[in-house]
Amino acid sequence: MQSPADLDVLDSAEARLACAIAQSPPGGAPHAEAELYRLLAPRVRRYGLRHLRDAHAAADLMQHVMTFTLEQLRSGSVREPERVLSFVLGTCRMTVIDHRRSENRRNDLLERYADALPQADIHIAPRLDQERLAQCLERLVARERSVLVLTFYDEQPSDAVGEQLGLSPANVRVIRHRGLEKLRRCVDAGRTRA
C-alpha cells in the first residue's frame, strides 16, 4: 500500500509530466518536456545560485541538469520518473560537486605551475605594414580590388556588393576569396624580403 507521501509524489505536476515523457518514444512528448523544463529550471537555477554563487555558473548548471534529465527520461534511464524532483536535485548536487572538484584541481595546477608559464604581452600587437598592403592592393585587378574595398572597408554583404558591381553574390564570394589569397601572398612576400 502506498503512503500519503507516495501519493503526493504521484499527484505532482512534475511527476505526471516525467511519467508522460518516460512512457513516450524519445522526443514524442515535446509539450510535456517544455512544461517540465518550465517548472523545474527555475528551481535548478536557484540551487545553482545558492551553491555556486555565480549567475553564469547557475545558468550553466540549469542548462546541463535539465538537458541531462530530459535525455534520461527519454531513454527510460530514470528508474522512478515519478520521483523526478529527487532525480533533479541529486543531479544538481553531483554536478556542483564535480564543478568544485574541477575548480580545485585547476586552482592547484595554477598555484603549482603559474610561475613557470610565460606571460604574453597583450600590448604588443602584430604590426601591419600599411604601405605594403596598399601597394599589394593596387596590384590587384580592378574587380578584385573593388570587391575587397566594398566588403572590408564599406562593410557591405556579398549581395550588396554584387548589386553594385553587376555580379551574383556567389561570384562576389569567389572573387573575394581569390583576391584575399593574392593579397596575402603579396604581403607575405614583402615580409620575407624585409
pLDDT, the chain, mean: 87
What is the predicted pLDDT for the residue at 65? 96
Q: Is 37 exposed, middle or buried (0-12, 13-18, 19+ CB in 10 A)?
A: middle
- Mean pLDDT on 69-91: 95
Clarify whether residues 103 and 187 are in a common domain.
no
Clarify whether residues 88 and 158 are in a common domain.
no
Structural domain ending residue among the three candidates 58, 92, 115: 115
Clarify whether residues 102 and 79 are in a common domain.
yes
Clarify whether residues 45 and 110 are in a common domain.
yes
* % of residues, the chain, pLDDT over 90: 64
**62: containing domain:** 4-115
Q: How far, in Å, CA of 167 to CA of 156, rounded?
A: 14
Q: How far, in Å, CA of 95 to CA of 161, rounded?
A: 50
- Mean pLDDT on 83-91: 95
Q: Predicted confidence band at 4 (pLDDT cuts at 50, 70, 90)?
A: very low
What's the domain count of the chain? Answer: 2
pLDDT at 148 over 70: yes
- Mean pLDDT on 72-79: 94
Residue 114 corresponds to which cell in the numbers above?
603559474
123 inside domain: no
Clarify whether residues 103 and 18 are in a common domain.
yes
What is the C-alpha radius of gyration for the chain, rounded to an integer number of angstroms? Answer: 29
| Other CB atoms within 10 A of residue 132 CB | 17
Clarify whether residues 51 and 147 are in a common domain.
no
pLDDT at 5 over 50: no
Clarify whether residues 143 and 48 are in a common domain.
no
DSSP conformation letters of 39-91: HHHHHHHHHHHHHH--HHHHHHHHHHHHHHHHHHHHHT--S-GGGHHHHHHHH
Clarify whether residues 188 and 107 are in a common domain.
no
pLDDT at 166 over 80: yes
Q: Predicted confidence band at 192 (pLDDT cuts at 50, 70, 90)?
A: low
146 inside domain: yes
CA dist 18 to 27, 46, 57, Å? 13, 21, 25
Helix (H) or strand (E) holding 27: none
Clarify whether residues 88 and 183 are in a common domain.
no
- At residue 156, the 3 state secondary structure works out as coil
